[in-house]
Amino acid sequence: MSKTQELADRVERLLLRHEELKRTNELLEQQLAALTHERDNLRSRLNAARSRIDALLERLPVDAPVGSRTGEDTP
């Protein structure tokens, strides 16, 4: 096989590998975008849950005995 043919074969393999890597990169970018969206959604839900808990905590009476908050009977 001539040097020119060997070089042409290597270039062809490099081009194929380049195309593979481009497709892989595109898939990874899509996954990253999906995971970023999911993370942002989960953060939003977490903040909403924290707000609801804070609102519930504010509704608890401040001077109530500890046992009455948990449903325990006080002596």
Does residue 27 form part of some domain?
yes
Structural domain span for residue 48: 3-55
Is the Cβ–Cβ distance between 60 and 69 less than 8 Å?
yes
Does residue 14 form part of some domain?
yes
Does residue 37 form part of some domain?
yes
**The pLDDT value given to residue 63:** 82
Q: CA 69, CA 57: separation in Å to the nearest integer?
A: 11
Residue 70 has pLDDT above 70, yes or no: no
Question: 21-64, pLDDT tens digit by residue?
Answer: 999 999 999 999 999 999 999 999 999 999 999 999 999 998 86
Does residue 69 form part of some domain?
no
**The pLDDT value given to residue 21:** 98
**The pLDDT value given to residue 5:** 95
Does residue 43 form part of some domain?
yes
Which residues, 6 or more positions from 65, have their beta carbon under 8 angstroms from its beta carbon?
A: 74
pTM of the shown model? 0.64
Does residue 65 form part of some domain?
no
Q: What is the number of structural domains in the chain? A: 1
Does residue 28 form part of some domain?
yes
